[in-house]
Amino acid sequence: MKVKVLFFAALREQLGTAGEEIDLPAGVATVAALRGHLARRGGPWEGALAEKKNVRAAVNQDMANPGAAIRAGDEIAFFPPVTGG
Amino acid sequence: MKISVQREDFDLSLETKNLSRSEGVGAVASFVGIVRDVHMTLEHYSGMTENSIRKIVEDACTRWKVMDCTVIHRYGELSPHDQIVLVAVASAHRGDAFSACEFIMDYLKTQAPFWKKEHRPEGAAWVEARASDDDATVRWEPPARKAS
């Protein structure tokens, strides 16, 4: 299943990338599972996406909970808590 | 409804004048956020930003009698004293305009995907989100949701 993953702000800098197209293995079907899948790459991924880190997510540009389902073709974004206004 | 995410500055009096044109408008309440004391870069998630602001405004419209609304949020490089954000709400009476304006601003701070990076003499750093901003939205939630 192919999805588009995006990273913003501090997370983008820590990971050294603004995003990528990724082909997910079977069983990675939620936001939390995708986050864990990426964290298992190790190095900066493990540090930036560790469970204790306050990371928010959006699926197709809507704020999403860790349990939210992801489907082929989705755009999933990970980012720190927002600081606009 | 006008929602704009832009690099350019905005003109409060012009935006207020535009909101005043709707039939029956008796009040326009506005909030302008200003850069305090440090140069900064504002990043945003293009597309989601506009959508999230639109949802917040639509939510406000279900709670108060809002006749028209303008939200402008800037991104890019900003300097001290620059305007960052404008929320302006037109209504028949001040109560609805004040409340809706404050509601939109509170939710914008915790829901709209913007991130500030401050450029200080000792180096650049991303601004940490403040718990007080989350607290500010709780007061608008109905009791049932507050408990969960």
Q: What is the CATH number of the domain that holds B23?
A: 3.90.1170.40
A51-60, B81-90, B138-147: segment of lowest average pLDDT: B138-147
Residue closest to B124 by CA, chosen among B23, B42, B50: B42
Q: Considering its fold, how many domains does chain B have in total?
A: 1
Written as six digits, the tokens of A9 are: 């702000």
Verify whether the Cβ–Cβ distance B48 to A79 is below 8 Å. no
Q: pLDDT at residue B145 above 80?
A: no
Q: What is the DSSP letter of B76?
A: E
Would you call A58 and B109 a contact, using CB atoms and an 8 Å cutoff?
no
Residues B43-66 have a mean pLDDT of 97
Interface ipTM above 0.90: yes
B144 pLDDT band, cuts 50/70/90, is: low
Contact list in B for residue A9 (CB cut-off 8 A) is 43, 115, 117, 126
Give CATH superfamily name and number for A2-79.
Beta-grasp domain (3.10.20.30)
Longest dimension (CA), chain A: 40
Q: What is the pLDDT of residue B147?
A: 46
Q: Does B29 touch chain A (CB under 8 A)?
A: no
pLDDT at A37 over 80: yes
For an interface test with B, give the residue of A5, A11, A55, A82 to mutate (most B CBs within 10 A).
A82
| Structure tokens that stand for B32 in this block | 């302008």
CB–CB contact B115 A58 (8 Å): no
Question: Among B31, B35, B42, B48, which would you mutate to test the A interface (most chain A Cβ atoms within 10 Å of its Cβ)?
Answer: B48
Amino acid B148: pLDDT: 44
Q: Which residue has the tokens 């029956």?
A: B24
Enclosing domain of residue B78: 2-147
* Among the listed residues B21, B15, B28, B30, the one whose alpha carbon sits nearest the alpha carbon of residue B93: B28
Contact between A63 and B111 using a beta-carbon 8 Å cutoff: yes
Residue B10 has pLDDT above 90, yes or no: yes
Q: Are B116 and A82 in contact (CB under 8 A)?
A: no
Give the residue-averaged pLDDT of B116-138: 90
Q: Secondary structure of chain A in the HEC alphabet?
A: CEEEEEECHHHHHHHCCCEEEEECCCCCCEHHHHHHHHHCCCHHHHHHHCCCCCCEEEECCEEECCCCECCCCCEEEEECCCCCC
pLDDT attached to residue B130: 84
SS3 B79: coil
- State the Cα–Cα distance between residues B65 and B80, nearest whole angstrom: 35
A77: pLDDT strictly greater than 60 = yes
Spatial separation of the C-alpha atoms in residues B63 and B99, rounded to whole Å: 9
CB contact under 8 A, B113 and A81: no
